[in-house]
């Protein structure tokens, strides 16, 4: 009989319920979204080693959007950055498609912020602490855009952290990502999570239109919302009703977990009305008053933020996307280049040095994408995911080209697994 570990989220499926053999163990649920659930899973590799990973699980069948599945996999595999979650493998069982991802043991950014001691009753993280995290997010998003990919769903729950004392940011979930420089990249349907959507995207939702917008500037708006929430512990604009769970009320607007997102072709999150989008748009206009490039002083209230910090957020949250800061503007901004604690500066420097080393070793854009475009095996697995019942007892597995060389060194020794930071030794076990 397999082992099931208890978890705060409640019951978790046994490996067999996901079509996985006995050398897999499902420990706990890490998260849930519109595209499926994510679990912490261990695979015994048979060489005295085990691998701990995050498994994004979706049932097979006609309800699975194969096009978006394949697009998300290809886009994520085309990226290789220390601040982006690695996609390790795609597994097809008789009942589920499982995307095997790097496990970020520090959890979601929202939980990390909640654990920090608030600087005051009106401020969450210090400016230096927020700067340390925000710089890493900028590095990750810049890597995406340089490789012709927009994320389109940057939010607190899609920013994870490793287990380090000075945590390394890990951006995840590329299910709604899109390639730039394609013929329809500026006319793509609205997508994302409402509280992080820029006004030009919200207008498309309200009007049910596909008016052209710049998805790069949409990502920049979302980064502005993230920075605001890190510093002030709340969203910059109120919401009429919860977005897919505990979220913002019309009067409060405190920082909570918000999960409901919009994918292409969907009208909006469950129980979310167009009137809610209109309310959000009105709040955005009200917060900017007559100057659409600058937030009103009432938006900050008694928040004691530096003028440089406010200037950066004004630029990121400009209503007019043509006036909104781009990545180059953000990197050059005085606040972003402000002081860091030594250990924070060292963490960022090590990440950038590692990226320089990867570039020197020839991890090019064309090579990464070309290998994926021509990978018939991946395309076949994605097509099979729309049907239930195959491949039978055998698992179909696909490994990205970048990950294939190191698979024989994957995982850690079995006896070390429970002693890892964030490991499993203290968890309750039920047989």
Catalytic residues: 153
C-beta atoms surrounding 373 within 10 Å = 10
Tokens at residue 134, please? 């925000």
Tokens at residue 122, please? 């009106």
Give the closest residue to 225 by CA, choosing from 143, 157, 149: 157
Which residues are paired to 202 by β-bridges? none
Give the closest residue to 255 by CA, choosing from 281, 237, 279, 278: 237
Q: Is the dihedral of CA 244, 174, 133, 318 positive or negative?
A: negative
Query: Helices (DSSP H) in 155-303: which residue ranges?
Result: 199-207, 215-232, 274-288, 297-300
**259, 270 contact by CB (below 8 A):** no
Could you give the CA distance from residue 109 to residue 155 in angstroms, rounded to a whole number?
Answer: 9
What separation in angstroms does the CA of 35 have from each of 109, 151, 309, 413? 20, 16, 35, 32
Tokens at residue 27, please? 């420990």
CA 140 to chain centre: 11
> How would you class 393 by CB atoms within 10 Å of its CB: exposed for 0-12, middle for 13-18, buried for 19 or more?
exposed
Could you give the CA distance from residue 18 to residue 424 in angstroms, rounded to a whole number?
Answer: 21
| Coil, helix or strand at residue 262 | strand
Could you give the CA distance from residue 98 to residue 186 in angstroms, rounded to a whole number?
Answer: 31
């Amino acid at each position: 009989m397999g082992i099931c570990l208890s978890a705060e989220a409640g019951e978790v499926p046994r490996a067999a319920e996901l079509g996985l053999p006995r050398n897999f163990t499902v420990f706990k649920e890490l998260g849930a979204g519109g595209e499926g659930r994510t679990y912490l899973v261990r695979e015994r590799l048979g060489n005295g080693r085990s691998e701990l990973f995050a498994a994004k699980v979706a049932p097979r069948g006609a309800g699975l959007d194969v096009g978006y599945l394949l697009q998300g996999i290809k886009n994520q595999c085309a990226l290789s950055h220390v601040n982006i979650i690695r996609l390790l493998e795609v597994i097809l069982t008789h009942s589920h498609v499982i995307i095997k991802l790097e496990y970020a043991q520090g959890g979601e950014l929202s939980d990390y912020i909640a654990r920090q001691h608030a600087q005051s009753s009106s401020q969450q993280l210090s400016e230096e602490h927020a700067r340390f995290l925000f710089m890493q997010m900028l590095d990750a998003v810049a890597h995406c855009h340089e490789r012709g990919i927009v994320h389109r769903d940057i939010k607190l729950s899609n920013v994870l952290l490793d287990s380090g004392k000075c945590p390394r940011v890990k951006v995840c979930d590329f299910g709604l990502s899109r390639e730039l420089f394609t013929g329809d990249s500026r006319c793509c349907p609205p997508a994302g999570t409402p509280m992080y959507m820029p006004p030009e995207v919200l207008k498309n939702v309200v009007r049910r239109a596909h008016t052209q917008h710049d998805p790069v500037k949409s990502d920049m708006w979302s980064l502005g919302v993230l920075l605001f929430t890190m510093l002030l512990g709340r969203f910059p604009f109120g919401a009429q009703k919860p977005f897919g769970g505990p979220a913002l009320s019309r009067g409060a607007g405190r920082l909570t977990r918000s999960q409901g997102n919009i994918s292409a072709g969907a009208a909006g999150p469950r129980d979310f009305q167009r009137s809610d989008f209109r309310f959000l748009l009105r709040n955005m206009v009200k917060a900017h008053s007559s100057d659409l490039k600058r937030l009103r002083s009432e938006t900050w209230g008694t928040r004691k933020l530096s003028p440089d910090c406010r200037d950066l957020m004004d630029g990121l949250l400009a209503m007019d996307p043509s006036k909104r800061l781009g990545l180059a503007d953000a990197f050059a901004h005085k606040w972003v280049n402000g002081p860091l604690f030594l250990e924070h500066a060292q963490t960022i420097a090590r990440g950038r040095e590692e990226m320089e080393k990867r570039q020197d070793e020839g991890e090019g854009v064309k090579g990464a994408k070309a290998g994926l475009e021509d990978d018939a095996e991946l395309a076949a697995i994605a097509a099979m995911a729309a049907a239930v019942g195959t491949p039978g007892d055998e698992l179909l597995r696909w490994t990205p080209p970048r990950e294939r060389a190191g698979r024989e060194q994957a995982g850690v020794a079995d006896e070390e697994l429970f002693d890892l930071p964030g490991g499993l030794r203290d968890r309750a076990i039920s047989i």
